[in-house]
Amino acid sequence: MKEFELIDKFFRVRSHQRRDVQIGIGDDCAVVNVPQGQSLVVTTDTLVSGVHFPENTPARAVAHKAVAVNLSDLAAMGAEPAWLSLSLCISDVDENWLDEFSLGLQELTDYYSVQLIGGDTVKGPLAVTITAQGFVPRDQALTRSRARPGDWLYVTGTLGDAGLGLDMHQGRADVAPKHRNFLGNRLNYPTPRVLVGTILRRIATSCIDISDGLISDLGHILTSSGCGAQLAVDKLPLSEAMRDSVGAEQAIRYALTAGDDYELLFTVSEEQKGNLDLALTSASVSATCIGQINGVQGKLELRHGKDRYEFEGQGYQHFS
Amino acid sequence: MKEFELIDKFFRVRSHQRRDVQIGIGDDCAVVNVPQGQSLVVTTDTLVSGVHFPENTPARAVAHKAVAVNLSDLAAMGAEPAWLSLSLCISDVDENWLDEFSLGLQELTDYYSVQLIGGDTVKGPLAVTITAQGFVPRDQALTRSRARPGDWLYVTGTLGDAGLGLDMHQGRADVAPKHRNFLGNRLNYPTPRVLVGTILRRIATSCIDISDGLISDLGHILTSSGCGAQLAVDKLPLSEAMRDSVGAEQAIRYALTAGDDYELLFTVSEEQKGNLDLALTSASVSATCIGQINGVQGKLELRHGKDRYEFEGQGYQHFS
């Protein structure tokens, strides 16, 4: 099967159709229109088999995750997603695999009203590159660089589940049957926090999505904003599956360091805390306050109640 | 070296800076602004080592070609290029290679005032995915689908050189020393026809770039437009290097079927021929009339002077 037949069969026909797409798949380029008063927000992420997901990951999950990690980046900027471009590198044309992959793609694109506007299929080891685009009202994009001392630190959802899910799948963690499905889904079918991102536009001072683990991604905010932070490890939001499966220290370790959760980490000034609570409640989404930004540049202090929390043999994490 | 250090060292610092980029490399996403009255034009192309370029291709050429093939797609729509996103899959961090690669990137992005606004570096077999974006005034994008019977068929530059260059490099073609540099450059450092593309906006009825070979890409225009064409093989523009290196029949074969030339193939109505000549002359670019569109849907007839030209044992090429 030739490349264009592939694209036609599995991707063009099934894609959600948007009115702002003048020309979609099928010409040299797509032609699309950005609404007036909006900036365009662009991100690119590549997932490589065996590096970013285990080689036996189902095709539907590969597609879901590839789309979700990109939408998660858009969410971290407060953007509303609109269009995707897909580069799919596959070792051979397995129609069953492609069928499952394109269904995984369709599920998320339909849900978020996002249209696949183009792409490329090439022969090689399995890898998926997606460029996702969306809009944000001009000058309302959330960044990593505007956290200020005194701001409160929040995170959506629960932390560490994807990491525990990976360890479960690879036989490194023992999980009760009733939690296996939840953790497997947290690993393979992450939920990009698109709605929360748009809600945070006028409320948060900074925002990032947690892809590399809380400490690492918080580090990006601290470095970009020139601040430090105090983090309350006893406040870290943990799922029931996490609490049932591992001890307290181990749970904190997952929550601090495991990647792939795609929750949003953001800062809010004291004055905006009320607005945040209102907005989250009316949208039925939850976020947990886990600490506070301070002026000690590039230092992260972990606390458990009133005590300093020792982690990796040190109470501080340093970022340059 | 970590991913963000890599991006910082080789890509962020060296990138051309544009005023329409509000946030470039360094946050979760880029934030950019599309000028009012313009549509956004988007394309994605992946080049895989050993598939789209020989494994021993210099890093500077890999970068040049990856950018050029994407800018060529934009040119085929009549778009002015603006931004690139890069996903670079490399097997290991070879600083010399990255240095050469980023210089190759810089040369083209500087020349066309294009900014690298983001990307991803991952570990795996060498592959480069670029998403290129540009603008075209609303409703002026060139497509493949509006060629009409009676329109004249044109092509920029000369044809088949990249194919001959590849055969030269791989020892399948004997080329005189004085032509080796020219053909090597046509293969490794193709020129995207960006200026011609913008000139053609109000003049051409359809346009495509020749990446897969003249017959194949003309087939896309014929299929999309529901037309046929007559092609004069004695009019095909051939370089001096081509004419000196192979016989007449072989040269026609290269010109008809070899890919990677990235010339523009376009159609112009009888009424616009004068405007085309004027515009090409004032921009000092050349294009050659090589045939005419007719109403015989999906059929390509090859002629040599007044005679039918037999090719692959048949005078017709069929497209569905």
Specify the amino acid at residue A246: V
| pLDDT tens sequence across A1-22 | 455 567 667 777 677 899 999 9
The confidence band for B313, taking pLDDT boundaries of 50, 70 and 90, is very low
Residue of B7, B31, B85, B225 to mutate, testing the A interface (most A Cβ within 10 Å of its Cβ): B31
Alpha-carbon distances of A9 from A91, A95, B151, rounded to whole Å: 18, 10, 32
Neighbours of B103 (CB within 10 A): 15
How many Å apart are CA A305 and CA A312, to the nearest integer? 18
Say if residues A222 and A229 touch (Cβ distance below 8 Å).
Answer: yes
Q: Which of B29, B143, B224 sits opposite A43 (nearest CB)?
A: B29
Counting one residue from chain A and one from chain B, the pairs whose CB atoms sit within 8 A come to 173
Position B1 scores a pLDDT of 45
Query: d(Cα A255, Cα A251) in Å, to the nearest integer?
Result: 6
Contact B116, A44 (CB under 8 A): no
Tell me whether residue A217 is annotated as binding: no
Q: Determine whether the interchain pair A43/B22 forms a contact, defined as Cβ–Cβ distance below 8 Å.
A: no
pLDDT score for A314? 41
Question: pLDDT above 70 covers what percent of chain A?
Answer: 95
What mean pLDDT, rounded, does chain A reach?
93
Inter-residue long-range contacts of B218-223, CB under 8 Å, 24+ positions, other chains counted: B218/B153, B218/B265, B218/B300, B219/B300, B219/B317, B219/B319, B220/B144, B221/B144, B221/B145, B221/B147, B221/B265, B221/B267, B222/B147, B222/B293, B222/B297, B222/B298, B222/B299, B222/B300, B222/B319, B223/B298, B223/B319, B223/B320
pLDDT, tens digit, 9 for 90 and up, residues A57-88: 999 999 999 999 999 999 999 999 999 999 99
Q: In degrees rounded to 5, what are phi and psi of residue B15?
A: -75, 140
| Structure confidence by residue, pLDDT tens digits, A33-62 | 999 999 999 999 999 999 899 999 999 999
Q: Is the pLDDT of residue A293 over 70?
A: yes
Does the annotation list A260 as a binding residue?
Answer: yes
Q: Indicate which of A28, A193, A209 best probes the interface with B, i.e. most B CBs within 10 Å of its own CB.
A: A28
The answer to whether the beta carbons of residues A143 and A97 sit under 8 Å apart is no
Task: Give phi and psi for A125, each to the nearest 5.
Answer: -65, 140
Q: How far apart are CA B7 and CA B101, in angstroms?
A: 12
Q: How far apart are CA A203 and CA A272, in angstroms?
A: 6
- Whether the CB of B122 is below 8 Å from some CB of chain A: the reply is yes
Residues 6+ away with beta carbon under 8 Å from A59: A97, A98, A99, A100, A101, A104
HSE-up of residue A62 (Cα within 13 Å, Cβ side):
28
Average pLDDT over residues B83-87: 96
The mean per-residue pLDDT over the stretch B43-63 comes to: 94
CA atoms within 13 A on the CB side of B174: 1
Q: Which residue of B has its CA nearest to A24?
A: B42
Length of chain B as a residue count: 320
CA A302/CA B5 separation, integer angstroms: 26
Element (H, E) at A206: strand A204-209
Return binding residues of B for ATP.
119-120, 144, 211
Q: Strands A287-294 and B38-48, how do they pair?
A: unpaired
| Residue A44 marked as a ligand binder | yes
Nearest CA in chain B to A143: B27
Q: What is the pLDDT of residue A26?
A: 87
Tens digits of residue pLDDT in B143-192 = 999 999 999 999 999 999 999 999 999 999 999 999 999 999 999 999 99
Q: How confident is the model at residue B47 (pLDDT cuts 50, 70, 90)?
A: very high
* pLDDT in the model for residue B26: 86
Q: Measuring CA to CA, which residue among A237, A222, A234 is closest to residue A300? A: A222
**B90 → chain A, closest CA residue:** A48
Contact B46 A120 (CB under 8 A): yes
Alpha helices in A206-272 (DSSP H): 214-225, 240-245, 248-257
Note the maximum CA span of chain A.
64
pLDDT (0 to 100) of residue B222: 97
The whole-angstrom distance between residue B214's C-alpha and the CA centroid of its chain comes to: 12
d(CA A9, CA B253): 32
Q: Are strands A115-123 and A80-90 parallel, antiparallel or unpaired?
A: parallel
The structure tokens 């607005």 sit at A275
For an interface test with B, give the residue of A5, A12, A129, A193 to mutate (most B CBs within 10 A): A129
Shortest CB distance from A76 goes to which of B28, B86, B145? Answer: B28
**Which domains occur in chain A, in start order?**
3-137 (3.30.1330.10), 152-318 (3.90.650.10)
The pLDDT of residue A132 is above 60: yes
Q: In whole angstroms, give the CA distance from residue A99 to residue A81.
A: 24
Testing the interface with A: which of B12, B23, B42, B92 to mutate, by most A Cβ within 10 A?
A: B42
Pair A124, B125: CB distance under 8 Å: yes
User: What pLDDT is stored for residue A315 in this prediction?
Assistant: 41
Placement of tokens 């904190």 in the chain: A252
The neighbouring-strand residues paired with B83 are B115, B133
CB A77 within 8 A of CB A197: yes
Segment B118-131, tens digit of pLDDT: 988 888 889 999 99
Considering only CB atoms, which chain A residues are within 8 Å of B52? 122
Average pLDDT score over residue span A131-159: 97
Residues of chain B in contact with residue A213, where contact means CB-CB under 8 angstroms, are none
Using CB atoms, pick whichever of B29, B79, B87 lies closest to residue A74: B29
Q: How far apart are CA A86 and CA B42, in angstroms?
A: 12
A151 is in an annotated binding site: no
Three-class SS of residue A124?
coil
Q: Is pLDDT of B13 > 70?
A: no
CA distance A49 to A63: 12
- Give the model's pLDDT for residue A298: 85
B118 → closest Cβ in A31, A44, A119: A44
Q: For residue A5, what pLDDT is reported?
A: 65
ipTM of the complex: 0.92
- The answer to whether residue A144 scores a pLDDT higher than 80 is yes
- First-to-last alpha carbon distance for chain A, in angstroms, is 51
Asked if B200 and B264 touch (Cβ cutoff 8 Å), the reply is: yes
**Residue-level pLDDT at A319:** 60
pLDDT tens digit string along A238-273?
999 999 999 999 999 999 999 999 999 999 999 999
Tell me how far apart the alpha carbons of residues B201 and B184 are, in angstroms, rounded to a whole number.
31
Q: Which of residues 91-120 of A touch B (CB under 8 A)?
A: 117-120
Average pLDDT over residues B198-224: 96
Find the mean pLDDT for residues B87-108. Answer: 92
Does A173 contact B at CB distance below 8 Å? no
Residues 6+ apart with CB under 8 A from A287: A154, A155, A156, A196, A264, A266, A276, A280
CB contact under 8 Å between B122 and A46, yes or no, is yes
pLDDT digits (tens, 9 = 90+) for B240-289: 999 999 999 999 999 999 999 999 999 999 999 999 999 999 888 899 99
Identify the band that residue A123 occupies on the pLDDT scale cut at 50, 70 and 90. Answer: confident
Residue B314 has a pLDDT of 41
Q: How confident is the model at residue A226 (pLDDT cuts 50, 70, 90)?
A: very high
